[in-house]
Amino acid sequence: MSKRRSRSSIPEETLERARRQAAAQTEESTPAAKPAPAKVEVAASPRARAGTAAARRSAAGSTARKRKEDEKLTPEMVADMLAHPTKEVSEAELEQQYGYVLRDLRSMGLLAASLMIALVVLAQILPR
């Protein structure tokens, strides 16, 4: 197996400074709040880290679902959006911006066709 690289490329001292600044900002906004006890970091096993990542993903998914439920569009809203588009893009503008896509598709089609022809020719030439 290959070595797993650390996901964080931020130096530990920078992270600690950011944590101190964030704590100072929260203390300024809530003067009556008690100071938080110092955290003791313990190296977690890979399985424990995977569990916390899964918990974060499920929490993020639930908030995204709630947000989607709140932002449901009514048919009237959709009709209004369709009647009054925010930006109109002409076909010439699309071709200018995405012309490379058509060129790439054309070249891939030519390559596929030439390879198919080469396979048919090889099938005819090579003995069985």
Q: Note if the pTM is more than 0.95.
A: no
pLDDT, tens digit (0-9, with 9 covering 90-100), for 54-72: 666 666 666 666 566 667 8
Radius of gyration, alpha carbons of the chain: 29
Structure tokens at 113: 């066709």
- Angle among Cα 73, 78, 83 to the nearest 5 degrees reads 160
Task: State the pLDDT at residue 88.
Answer: 80
Cβ atoms of residues 23 and 36 within 8 Å:
yes
- Rounded CA-CA distance 83/76 in Å is 10
